[in-house]
A = this chain, B = another copy of it.
């Protein structure tokens, strides 16, 4: 009824009027155009402050077709894993004065994937896809419309897509090798969701290390997990029930490793003297469990940063191709691993 929108946004025109100039000049001041006399600029700036002027982004982007916000598509929140990546994204975005719109894929899953592409177009300038389950669904439609996007922690379909990942294979290789050097000969492995390439790479790294060191690859030592904590628990339980159980277990992520630790303790076994355990990711909690967990660090925050940088680069120059970047993983040795006491010889 009553004109409730009392605050009645003040516009560029209000400023111009009060500053005794034209709206064009004000616009220039806002956009740091050089072609403005210094005193004029000062005057306008002053008035802007007085009036508490703030640009209307809708109108601005209506013109330039640039919104200065990038969309981030994540599978879920609440896991420290995504949080770390987000932190990197956010930091880098801040540097570029851009904002961040969050979408969760489970939300989008209900509609066709292409819908997402449509949805975000016009709202965001570019898209960061974090760990999409079936990236092809998105990427194809995105690539088709030539929409800028960067994949995080996922291989594109071999196309010339922009992506940042980590050296999962190497990390798993090193971790396995570390266990071998500790004298372990039977090393259990708990996989992640094999529809994720990072999970595949980790398994491959494990296998390669075994092969390189002339150790047999026993299928019974590989348990199929899906990155969830109970998988770790069940995996370790299954592995320890083996007639010839492993003396060390390598889980494809920290969360499963924690589950495995639980299972081990529940059988009255001691970590690491009875069973060594290694995780993957180096989420913050991995240092806080008992005993502190040996794990493979993934530079999550940095991955977020780099991906964001890549996106910004593309945004500035759409013809530039940044390709795929792999950030190094690193073995973090803590106290959940020790030499194999049963080692014969």
- Interface positions of A (Cβ within 8 A of B): 4-7, 9, 52, 54, 56-59, 61-62, 65, 67, 69, 76-80, 82-84, 86-87, 90, 94, 99-104, 107, 114, 118-119, 121-123, 144-147, 229, 258-259, 261-262, 265, 284-285, 288-290, 318
Contacts and interface: CB of A to CB of B under 8 A. Distances in A.
A62 B54 contact: no
B102 A77 contact: no
Given A99-B123, A100-B102, 13 more contacts: A7-B121, A54-B119, A57-B58, A57-B122, A58-B67, A77-B86, A78-B80, A82-B83, A90-B107, A99-B101, A100-B101, A259-B288, A285-B285
A4 B318 contact: yes
The binding surface of chain A is classed by DSSP as mixed
A207 B344 CA distance: 59
Contacts of A103: 99-100
Contacts of A284: 78
A57 B9 CA distance: 19
A81 to B, nearest CB: 9
B101 A6 contact: no
A97 to B, nearest CB: 10
Nearest to A52: B118
Copies of chain A in the complex: 2
B7 A147 contact: yes
Contacts of A80: 78-80, 83
B58 A62 contact: yes
A290 B289 contact: yes
A145 B76 CA distance: 34
Interface centre among A4, A58, A102, A147 (most CB of B within 10 A): A58
A80 to B, nearest CB: 6
A263 to B, nearest CB: 12
Contacts of A259: 288
A59 B146 CA distance: 22
Nearest to A79: B83
A4 B65 CA distance: 13
Contact of A4 (B123, B146, B285): B146
A76 B87 CA distance: 8
A121 B9 contact: yes
Contacts of A290: 261-262, 265, 289-290
